Amino acid sequence: MSWLHIVVLLPLIFALIIPCIYRLHKRIHLGWFVLPLPIVLFIYFLTYIKTTMSGDTVMQEVNWMPKFGMNFDLYIDGLSLLFSLLITGIGSLIVLYSISYLSRKEQLGNFYCYLLLFMGAMLGVVLSDNIIVLYLFWELTSFSSFLLISFWRTNQRSIYGAQKSMLITVFGGLSLLGGLILLSISANTTSIRTMIDHVGDIQTSPFFILSMVFVLIGAMTKSAQFPFYIWLPDAMEAPTPVSAYLHSATMVKAGLYLVARMTPIYAVSQGWVWTVTIVGLITLIWASLNATKQQDLKGILAFSTVSQLGMIMSMLGIGAVSYHFEGAESQLYIAAFTAAIFHLINHATFKGALFMITGAVDHATGTRDVKKLGGLMTVMPISFTLTIITSLSMAGIPPFNGFLSKESFLESMIEVTHADILSLDTFGILIPIVAIIGSIFTFVYAVRFIGQIFLGSYRPQSLPKSAHEAPKLMLIAPTILALLVIVFGLFPVILTSTLIDPATSAISQANSKPSSFHLFHGFTPAFFATLLIYIVGIILILTFKYWVRLLRMQPNKLQLNYWYDTTGKYSSHVSSNFTDSYVTGFTRNNLVILFTSFIVLAIIALSLTPFKLDFNNVSNIRPFELIIIVLIMLASVMIVCARSRLFSIIMTSAVGYAVAVFFIFFGAPDLALTQFVVETISTALFLLCFYHLPNLNRHNETRNFKWSNMLIAIAAGLVVTIIGLIAYGNRHFESIATYYKEHVYDLAHGTNMVNVILVDFRGTDTLFESSVLGIAGLGVYTMIKLRSTRKANKEGGSDYE
């Protein structure tokens, strides 16, 4: 295992260690123990910049499960390195910010455990070359983000937001799994590098389009694209460090990473170009419109994040056009990839800072409601300065970095209308129009964000707390990001050759020409489009109160959240009624349903499948076997007829012990021993449980003989017997037992065949069985803890359970 593997696993290892440290050192804020880790990881990834700048890549392989095609292979190129630096760099600032934001009274052990779990999962996503391992880390990001969003679990809105994000992103994850499986079948490999090297085989596969659709659904759910964006605004109920990390710099960009990584495979498809571009532009304009009417600061930032993600997505779609050209003409559209990468970096800087400033405002005033805020410029001068820098960057105003990437965005949208393929020279005229409209409303909500907090009249009486400047420690992280906004705006060359160009080459699979960004490109169409954005944007800001009413008049039925909630309530109602119709609380009813369904399905299957009963090779029944069968039947009848629980338990054990005797006669002493142990433990547990139940016996119960019970029992027994005989008489393959006998020594190096089968040959089954027991144990532990918590709360007079 290489250092790169250790680096990816370190956050996951620390996620297990940090809660233990929290229990031992509660006097010192836990964040100080966590902070060195992301800083060290960030410095480590910086050492790879020279490698990617020279066009080289790094592959570190570990044969994990080669039989399943699951190798823990990690791959560093310009694209994965860029994301790794964002994950660890922004992560370091988030941990620093959280030290001031989160009180030591919070459950910091849980918080940093979840945060590190997420950090490790994101590193695994962007560095994995194996698609199966990538999917495992992908789902881990959904799980860890669910834990982070629901961190304040007493807040019902947090729980609601966490559930919504989990449902939508896991749905996308399952879709992604289907796409990756089809992709691996088409390419006959699970390595992304190998897929790209043999992309022709995939593009001629019958699964090409279907896998592309599934992969896009997975990417767009994670990156909150239309219509899947609805989970992100509700996820803002999470603590501000979570919002700043997951929803501006990392998790929501996982979908963008996936689209960028899969572009070399799917870019030849017209469907890929148009879908990625159109969905991105629709997301841009729809979210920017919704951002202008929000009255919660986090709500504004949530929809602004969605709009910016749509903007980057559309640029990745336009960049895919380069795969349909060669030479200099291809370079025109590769510039869209360059713009997308640059804006991805810029968005992480200004949006991360804006989230942190919003948290500082909330911390200082006690509210995020824009109706109560205003006039804080003199009260919070540092926060005001940082907001000016980062908001104007988001609005695309020079000399900040957002202006440079926004100009490149407009140039790409205009340039694509000249492409004479894929109908871009006709229908493509709509692309720059939509892009300009979306940019106008981006300008509106970004500039208004400043005025809603810091300009206007100061109303201290409307604030829950006495306003004051945020603590110095809380301002360090957003100050660093604001400085980067200025530096990257004035000196973009810092990023071009180090991060942007290598990442662009990784997406385009070509040696793209060195990128360059300038504050003034001349009187180009993009320049005039920018002037139009500023002029119309200022007019809309001045007339905001007149036209915003139209947006707020949107009927509920035209909102996707309405349909999500309605569908959830209706499906919950229908499923509850259906479940209540057969789950009556009576064991007999449950068994009747189970066995009747089994009998009916078995009869249908037997009637549709030809079979024969072969008794030629059936062994003779020996006298002692007949005696044991009779004993089992008598014990079974006595269980039914027993009038005391103790006698029923004894007869149940008798059946189990009799079966164990069968194993001895059939030459399986290990199985017999296991059966004896299981029966003994089960009997002891039964007696322990029944000891605590009311002292009742069947003498006091009115029992009637039920013919239906008898018929179902007999039918179930007959069906099982017939299935057994059919399986014995219709063998289409050689018994697996022969393979076990031949290879138990040379392959598994064992002398006990039963143990070898369980541990080696069927080790996966045993692993999952052990996992089930572990999950059941956690469930029991959780129920005991909840019971103790409820009892303590009741004794303390608390209503919370």
Q: Are 376 and 114 contacting, i.e. CB atoms less than 8 angstroms apart? A: no
Mean pLDDT of 307-317: 96
Lowest-pLDDT range of 278-282, 400-404, 671-675, 728-732: 728-732
Mean pLDDT of 191-205: 91
Strand partners, 191: 130
58-60 and 74-76: which strand pairing?
Answer: antiparallel
Q: Are 171 and 144 contacting, i.e. CB atoms less than 8 angstroms apart? A: no
The pLDDT value recorded for residue 798 is 44
Residue 505 pLDDT grade (very low, low, confident, very high; cuts 50, 70, 90): very high
The DSSP output letter for 70 is: B
The pLDDT value recorded for residue 586 is 77
Average pLDDT, the chain: 89
The pLDDT value recorded for residue 705 is 63
Secondary structure element (H or E) that encloses residue 30, with its range: none
Q: Are 15 and 80 contacting, i.e. CB atoms less than 8 angstroms apart? A: no
Secondary structure element (H or E) that encloses residue 392, with its range: helix 381-395
The string of DSSP letters for 670-716 reads HHHHHHHHHHHHHHHHHHHHHHTS----GGGS-----HHHHHHHHHH
Q: Does position 361 have pLDDT exceeding 90, yes or no?
A: yes
Q: Does position 163 have pLDDT exceeding 70, yes or no?
A: yes
Q: Does position 800 have pLDDT exceeding 60, yes or no?
A: no
Written as six digits, the tokens of 684 are 């002891």
Of the CA atoms within 13 Å of residue 527, those in its CB half-sphere come to 7
The pLDDT value recorded for residue 758 is 75
Mean pLDDT of 602-631: 82
The pLDDT value recorded for residue 186 is 93
Q: Does position 350 have pLDDT exceeding 90, yes or no?
A: yes
Q: How far is CA 353 from the centre of its chain?
A: 24
The pLDDT value recorded for residue 704 is 62
Residue 438 pLDDT grade (very low, low, confident, very high; cuts 50, 70, 90): very high
Q: Does position 552 have pLDDT exceeding 50, yes or no?
A: yes
Mean pLDDT of 136-159: 92
Helix (H, G, I), strand (E, B) or coil at 130: strand
Phi, psi of 732 (to 5 degrees): -100, -10
The pLDDT value recorded for residue 258 is 97
Secondary structure element (H or E) that encloses residue 217, with its range: helix 208-222
Q: Does position 699 have pLDDT exceeding 60, yes or no?
A: no
Q: Is 512 left (phi over 0), alpha (psi -120 to 50) or beta?
A: beta
Q: Within a 10 A sphere around the Cβ of 176, how many other Cβ atoms?
A: 26
Helix (H, G, I), strand (E, B) or coil at 268: coil
Q: Are 89 and 49 contacting, i.e. CB atoms less than 8 angstroms apart? A: no
Residue 791 pLDDT grade (very low, low, confident, very high; cuts 50, 70, 90): low
Written as six digits, the tokens of 777 are 């144990």
Lowest-pLDDT range of 1-5, 270-274, 355-359, 549-553: 549-553
Sign, Cα dihedral of 59, 61, 66, 72? negative
Q: Does position 795 have pLDDT exceeding 70, yes or no?
A: no
Mean pLDDT of 270-297: 94
The pLDDT value recorded for residue 124 is 96
pLDDT tens sequence across 638-655: 887 877 778 888 898 999
Distance in angstroms (rounded) separating the CA atoms of residues 611 and 747: 36
Written as six digits, the tokens of 724 are 């057994």
Residue 674 pLDDT grade (very low, low, confident, very high; cuts 50, 70, 90): confident
Binning the chain into helix, strand and coil, the percentages to the nearest 5 are 75, 0, 25
Q: Are 334 and 510 contacting, i.e. CB atoms less than 8 angstroms apart? A: yes
pLDDT tens sequence across 121-130: 999 999 999 9
Lowest-pLDDT range of 207-216, 702-711, 776-785: 702-711
Strand partners, 683: none
pLDDT tens sequence across 381-391: 999 999 999 99
Lowest-pLDDT range of 53-57, 265-269, 584-588, 607-611: 584-588
The pLDDT value recorded for residue 407 is 95
The pLDDT value recorded for residue 125 is 97
Lowest-pLDDT range of 25-39, 260-274, 642-656: 642-656
Mean pLDDT of 52-73: 89
Distance in angstroms (rounded) separating the CA atoms of residues 491 and 496: 10
The pLDDT value recorded for residue 692 is 72
Q: Does position 759 have pLDDT exceeding 60, yes or no?
A: yes
The pLDDT value recorded for residue 255 is 96
The string of DSSP letters for 599-633 reads HHHHHHHHHHS------TTPPPPPHHHHHHHHHHH
Q: What is the residue type of 454?
A: F
Sign, Cα dihedral of 369, 375, 378, 379? negative
Q: Are 411 and 530 contacting, i.e. CB atoms less than 8 angstroms apart? A: no
